[in-house]
Every structure is written in structure tokens, then in C-alpha cells.
Structure 1
Amino acid sequence: MGHHSRHAGADTQRMRTIALAVIVPTGLITLLALIWLWPPPSNVADQSGRAAQHQGVVTGVTKQPCPETPAGQEPLPGGATLDVNGCGTAQVKVSDGPDQGLDVVVTLPNGPGAPTVEDGDEVILVLTENPDGGQYDIVDHQRTKGLWLLGIAFTLAVVAFGRWRGFSALIGLVATFALLLLFVVPAILAGESPLLVAIVGASAIMLTVLYLTHGLTFSTSVAVLGTLASLLLTGLLAAASVAGMHLTGFADESSTFLATSHSVNLQGLLLAGIIIGSLGVLDDVTVTQAATVTELARANPEYGMRELYRAGTRVGRAHIASVINTIILAYAGSSLPLLILIAANNSSIGNVITTQVIAQEIVRSVVATLGLIAAVPITTALAAATARRTITS
């Protein structure tokens, strides 16, 4: 009983020392930076010029014969067609807005990415004003119900398996999305430095989510310190790589639109994406390493710092081996359409790798992996040193 009390007391004292020395100042600086960088509502991008969107339900589809293919026009490979719905019109009942309940006739959508339309579908309509009045067009399907069902299933599964820890993880997820949507994105659109916003946002997410999910424990504090150190190293590596390879952040039409329409610093945005993307895997590794070393120290109080470090590192190597493949596959999956397009143009491997778009993805993957690898020895060493002192106190 006495040994347990001394252990708990030392654990609490060690955690308080770590918090007072590093984590509390970091939290205060992050909070002040959030207040300083928080964008006022007036600086949020004005979207008043965009066409109004409304919801509707397809009540009927009328097909008509399509005109023949113009002479000399070659068919698409594999018999593919851009006329996904064929020719004709659809009758749609508007579900919201000033025209709620109105039945309108729209042309069936066709072309790349056009939604397939059938009777009873819930769709998104765009109202375009013209000299003859308003014209409605179908641009997408409504997905609200499906997303709600998927979200409910996700929530029930997480809570059923994780119980209270799963519930706290969901709260942390809500906090992450809130910081991204309410701070990071509006602040970048308001003209703040994307890199600075990403650093502050990542710090706020890390401090909030880790303690909210894993509690105010000794191992969580060690994980926070390991994540901070690894995130700093990742940011430095990312900045050096982006500058050294002269990457500009211009990758596709959306990035060009951001630069021209909203004056966003795309190079800073590239760095911001690397930092925020790396945080998701860093906290996973650091929490695992800190908890592993802490449990090893409690299971075998005879272990010294060297034994704890070696044992924890062995676990970390196995974890890193699987996570590295996860990172590469995640980036490859998100870039798969681009990879297929480049392969279809019969470009050489050397030319493909050195293109700006592919080089940026390689930098994302490699920098995130290097930061991840560094997180293992950093967090393991911190946990081994503090856990050993805790056990012997």
C-alpha cells in the first residue's frame, strides 16, 4: 500500500513538473496565438456571387432521342460516353427557398462527373439568373441522409467498442473539426500566414485531443512532449525540402484558383498541409510509445532506463514498419487519378517523379515518415527517463 502511494505521488509530481515546465507555457502561447489570429467574421471570403443552391426531388424523367455523333468525331475508349443520362428533361419539385413546392423542368445533366438522375432522387439544384428569368440545373445528389446514417453507425461502433474512451475520442474528433473549420480555414482565407496558422492549429488540436482522449496522465504528458518535438522537426524538414526543391504549391486548378481569387500563399499552404497531415500519425505513435514504456516500468520495476528504452524501441520499430506503408498508400490513393493520367501519357519514370505535382506528394510522404521515425526514439527516451525516476522515487 505504501509503495503504491509513493508511486502514485511520484507519478503525479512528475506529471506536474513536465506540465509546468513545457506544456503549460505551450498551451498559453497557443491560446494567445489563437486569439490573435482568429479571423473576424468580416474577413471570411464573400460567397454572395455564387449561384444559389436549392434542394429538390425528381418527380419524373422524360427521355428523348439524342442527335447522332458528328461526322469525324471519334468514340471514347471502351464505348464510354459523356451522356450519362441521355437526352431529355427531368421534372423536379423544389424543396426549399422562395420557390418551395414549385415544379420545374430541367435538362438532364451530362458530361464528366454529371450525376445520374432517376425518378425519386433527391438532388441539388443551382438557380442561375438570366434575362429570361431564373433557370434551374441539377448539379449533384443530396447526401445528407446517407451521411447522417453513416455518422450514427460510426458513433455507435466507436462507443460500443471503446466505451468511455471511445466517447472521449469522438469529442476530440469534434474539437479537431471545429478548429479546422472555424479557425484554420477561415484564418488562411483571411490572409494570415498558412504556416503560422497550421502551427497554432496543430498545437491546439494536439493539446486538446490528446488530453481529452487519454486523460491528464503521466504517459499523455510524455506523448505531448514527444509530439511537440517531432512536429517541430517535421516542420523544419518540410521547410527545407520545399525551399530546396523550389516547390511552389501550384498543383492543379483548385490551387491556382486559391492563389488568384483569394491571394493564398500556396507554398505556405503546402507546408501547412504537411504539418497538419503529419500530426494525425504522430500522436498515434507517441501515445503508443509513452503508454508502452510506462506499462513496462510498472510491470518490471527492476528495469533501468536502458532496458526500458530498448524494449520500447522494439515495439516502436514494429509500429513504424506498418505505419510507413499506411502513409505511402494513403498518399498514393489520393493521387491515383493523377498517376493513371501520367501513365496514360507514356511519360518516363524520371519525368514523372520530377514533376511538381508528384514531387510535392513525395515530399509529403518522406517528410511525414522522417518525423514519424524521429518520434519513436524521442518519445521512448523521454518516457524511459521519466518513468524510471517515477518508479525509483
Structure 2
Amino acid sequence: MNPKHYGQARMRALRTITASRPGRLLVGVVGVVALLTIVGLVALWPSGQGPKVAGAGVKTLAGTVTQVRSASCGGPTKQQCRTAKIRLDEGQDKGLQVDVVLGPAEVSPDLQVDQRVRMADQNAGVPVAPEAGPQEPSYAFSSVDRRTPVIALAVLFALLGAVVARGRGVLALLGTAMSLSLVVLWLVPAILDGGSPILVATVGALAVMFVTTILTYGITAQSLAAVTGIGVSLVAAALLGTLWTDLAGLDGKDGDLSAFTLQSGGELPLQGILLAGMVIGALGVLTDTVVSQVSTVAALHRANATLGARGLYREAFVVGRDHLSATIHTLVLAYAGATLPLLLIASANGVTLSDAINDARLAEPIVSTLVGSAALVLSVPLSTALASVLVGRLPPDALSSDDGHSHHH
């Protein structure tokens, strides 16, 4: 469709929506949520004064492996340790050959000659007294340079999305990029600045919801109803997460952030950060499920305008129930995959199931999975009911037939 005609069609659809009382109510609710989200973004805007740990962020430089050797690690055992000689390819010591000890051969990276790696400059950020003179170069192996394959995979994903979904795919990719930017550039700094993590996560998730939903599906009756349903479901996820982290005694102090918190003077609210992760983690599946339910109600209403709110709810809920079981399965398997190393260690050490789930490192993802799944279960009847009452009372010509996100069963 011509962009001009596309825009005119959108304006006609919006005018049709606001011509009815349910449509005005829908637009009003979404407008209030959007206004509160904007106020939250501004009020919680990070100042950049969050806690920082001197020397924690290590600068890395490009290097190339020129030699790999194995030698005895020393001591009473006959264990072999892997060492390497690495040439620096950038920085003030470019061309310098650095000998590094990688560690026991069984657990150290299996480097190959000419492989690109990253080297940590251990002098970077370390204060030096003027009378101390120039520092001796000090570098350590950081990791294999895997940036190129990661970027290549991201480009491949973007191309696949653009080719398969065409214009809609491009908009979805743009929405994804903007959402990730919001998380990295606003949400994380806002938490570091001392903002309430659960409040920051809720506002951030609502902002991401608006960006992805409106950008991908446009301003239609379906997207407006979906925004309402997702917003309520996110609040439910935040409340459930708050309740169950307290009941389960999960304070976040057993995770990777505990050391950083200690170094930064204990300024990070670890339990709040755990809750924030639950809210953000639930957003993706909630968006997919709620948009599907709203689109199903809209499709039923277009096909049979005589169906009342109860009829629409009953028929759409059947579809939602099927979609729900598959989505919960996906969510559980995603968390199970993330905790697989811990499950393997527990099984190898003969740890019982009751003791394993009591370990905070497993209890946290379990609670996150259950909170997300519970919010997902609640979102189906909730979003279906909202759509049946709001969208189901709109004239059929106010509903777009090309913006739905439906699944066939």
C-alpha cells in the first residue's frame, strides 16, 4: 500500500474507533497508561551517578595467537597446563609478544595458531604515582574474540526477518532494537542510580511494550486493547514476583552481583534487581499471548458481528487455552536450558531434588519461571475478557484485518 494511503487508512480507523463509547474508553485507558509511562521515564531518568568499582571494567585489546604449548603444571600431580604466546595487534604496545598461562589443559580454552583473541590491559585504570615512572606492560588472556560470529548471526537474523516478514519484519526488528536500547541505556542505569528496581522494571517494560506493539502492529483497536491487557498482566507479574521472592526468602545475594555489591559499598538492592529480571523476562511471552488473544477476538467479531461479549470470550478462550499450553512449555524449557549446568552438577554429586530446589541458584530461576507462567495463565482470560468487552463492541470496520497476530491450531 502507498505510505500516504496507509497513513490515511490508519487515521480513518482511529476516527472510527473514537466514534463509539467503548472505543473512546479504550483510547482513554491507553492514553492514561502512556502518560504515566512517560512521567515514570522522566522521573526515573538516570543521572549517571550510580555506583562504580574502580578497576572492575577492564579494557581489552585485539591479539593473535602465535604459539600454543603444553607443559607440566608442577606440583605432585602430572597434570598438563596449556600456555600460549600472543601478539598484540593494537594499542601502544602493538606487536609485543606476551606469554600467558591458560591453565590445566582439561578446562582451558583450546586455542589455535592464528586465532584472534582479546587481551586484558591490567594497567588500564590503575592510578600511578608521578614518581613511580613508566609502568611495565602487563597483559592477561581475556577470551576468544567471538564478536564477529555474534554480529554475523545478528545480521543473519535481521535478514531472515526482513525477507520472510518483509515490511512487518523490518518494523519488528526496529522495535526490538529500540527496546534493547531502552533496557541498556535507561533501565540498567536507572537501577544503578538507586531507583526502585521493581518500579523501574515496570515502567521500562511498559515503555518497551508501547514501542514494540505500536511500531509492529500500528495504532489499531487490536493493538490498543493488547496494550491494556499486557499492562495489567505486567502489574500482576510484578505483584506475584514481589510476594513469592519474600515467601521463598530470595534476596539475590547468592548471584553474580553479590561481589559487585560488596565492592560498591552495598548500594545495590539485589532482591529488587531479581524482581526486575522477572518482570522483563515475562514481557516477551505476555506480549505474544495477549496480542494473539486480542487478534482472535477481533477476527471472530469481523466474521460474526452478532456474537456478544460472552460468545466472543468463549470462542477465543478455546484458542488461548491451546496456545497457553505450548507457550508455558516453551518458557519452562528456556529456563531449564539456562540452569542445565547446575542440574548436571547436582545430579553428578547425588544431590536430592528437594535439596537442589532449595539452592538459591536453582530456586531463583524456578520462581522466575513460575511467576512468569502464572502471569501468562492470568493474561489469557484477562486479555480475552478485555478484548471481548472493548473490541467486541466496536463496529467491525474499526478493526484492521492485516495487523493481527494469530496462531492457527
Cα distance change on mapping 1:110 and 1:277 into 2, 3 Å: same
- Which residue does the alignment assign to 2:42? 35
Q: Deviation per CA, 1:334-387, whole angstroms, max 9, x where unpaired? A: 111111112222122222222323222221111111110111111111111223
Residue from 187, 190, 196 that aligns with 1:187:
190
Distance change >3 Å, CA 347–CA 49, structure 1 → 2: closer
**Structure 2 CA distance, aligned partners of 1:117 and 1:324?**
40
Q: Deviations over 1:307-340 (max 9, x none)?
A: 2111100000000010111111111111111111
2:228 matches 1:235: no
In the alignment, the residues of structure 1 paired with residue 74 and residue 42 of structure 2 have an alpha-carbon distance, to the nearest angstrom, of: 60
Is 1:158 the counterpart of 2:161? The answer is: yes
Contact 1:169 1:209 in 2 (8 A): yes
Q: Greater CA deviation, 103-112 or 285-294?
A: 103-112
What is the CA deviation profile of residues 84-140 of structure 1, one whole-angstrom value per residue up to 9, with x for unaligned ones? xx5443141x2222223x231322422486432212111100122499712222221
> How far 1:13 sits from its partner (Å)?
3.4
In the other structure, the counterpart of 1:104 is: 97
Equivalent of 2:63 in 29, 39, 56: 56
Residue identity opposite 1:124 in structure 2: R
Tell me what 1:140 maps to.
Answer: 143
Q: CA deviation at 1:197?
A: 1.0
Q: Does structure 1 residue 122 correspond to structure 2 residue 129?
A: no
Identify if the C-alpha distance between structure 1 residues 366 and 69 changes in structure 2 by more than 3 Å, giving closer, same or farther. Answer: same
1:273 pairs with 273, 277, 285, which one? 277
**SS of residue matched to 1:133:** coil
Partner letter of residue 61 of structure 2?
Answer: H
Amino acid at match of 1:184: L
1:158-183 deviations in Å (ceiling 9; x for gaps): 01111111001001101111111001
1:107 aligned partner, one-letter code: V
Structure 1 residues 1-393: aligned runs within 5 Å: 10-13=16-19, 17-43=24-50, 45=52, 48=55, 50-58=57-65, 60-61=66-67, 63=69, 66-67=71-72, 70-71=75-76, 73=77, 86-92=81-87, 94-100=88-94, 102-111=95-104, 114-129=108-123, 133-252=136-255, 254-262=256-264, 263-391=267-395
C-alpha contact (below 8 Å) 1:114/1:139 kept by paired residues: no
Structure 1 pair 236/142, CA: closer, same or farther in 2 (3 Å)? same
User: Matched residues in 2 for 1:110 and 1:126: separation?
Assistant: 16
Rounded to whole Å, the distance in 2 between the matches of 1:336 and 1:315 is 32
Aligned counterparts of 1:256 and 1:31: Cα–Cα separation in 2: 32
> Is the Cα–Cα contact under 8 Å of residues 46 and 190 in structure 2 kept in the other structure?
yes
Deviation of the 1:16 alpha carbon:
5.4
Shift of 1:255: 2.5
* RMSD of equivalent CA atoms: 2.6
Structure 1 residues 11 and 330: CA distance shift in structure 2, 3 A = same
Structure 1 stretch 18-27 or stretch 154-163: which is displaced more?
Answer: 18-27
Residue in 2 that maps onto 1:3? none
Contact kept, 8 Å, 2:82 with 2:108, in 1: the verdict is no
Deviation by residue 1:170-210 (Cα, 9 ceiling, x = unmatched): 01101111111001111112222211111111111111111
Ranges in structure 1 where 5+ consecutive residues have no aligned partner: 1-5, 76-80
State the SS of the aligned residue for 1:45: coil
Q: How many residues align?
A: 374
Aligned residue for 2:231, secondary structure, equals: helix
Deviation at 1:301, TM superposition (A): 1.7
Taking only the aligned residue pairs, the percentage that are identical comes to: 31
Q: Distance in 2 between matches of 1:210 and 1:48?
A: 40
Structure 1 counterpart SS, 2:112: coil
Name the SS of the counterpart of 2:209 in structure 1. Answer: helix
One-letter identity of the residue aligned with 1:105: V
TM superposition shift of 1:33: 1.5
Q: Tell which deviates more after alignment, 335-344 or 288-297.
A: 335-344
Query: SS at 1:109's partner residue?
Result: strand
The letter for the 1-side match of 2:246 is A
Structure 2 CA distance for partners of 1:12 and 1:20, relative to 1, 3 Å: closer
Segment drifting more, 365-374 vs 47-56: 47-56
Give the residue type in structure 1 aligned to 2:102.
Answer: P
* Offset at residue 63 of structure 1 (A): 2.7
If the length of structure 2 is used for normalisation, what is the TM-score? 0.84
Shift of 1:20: 4.1
Instruction: After superposing the two structures, state which structure 1 stretch, 256-265 or 176-185, moved more.
Output: 256-265
| TM score, norm. by length of structure 1 | 0.87
8 Å CA contact 2:26, 2:390 repeated in 1: no
Q: Higher mean Cα deviation, 258-267 or 103-112?
A: 103-112
Give, in whole Å, the separation in 1 of the partners of 2:242 and 2:327: 23
Q: Distance in 2 between matches of 1:247 and 1:256?
A: 13
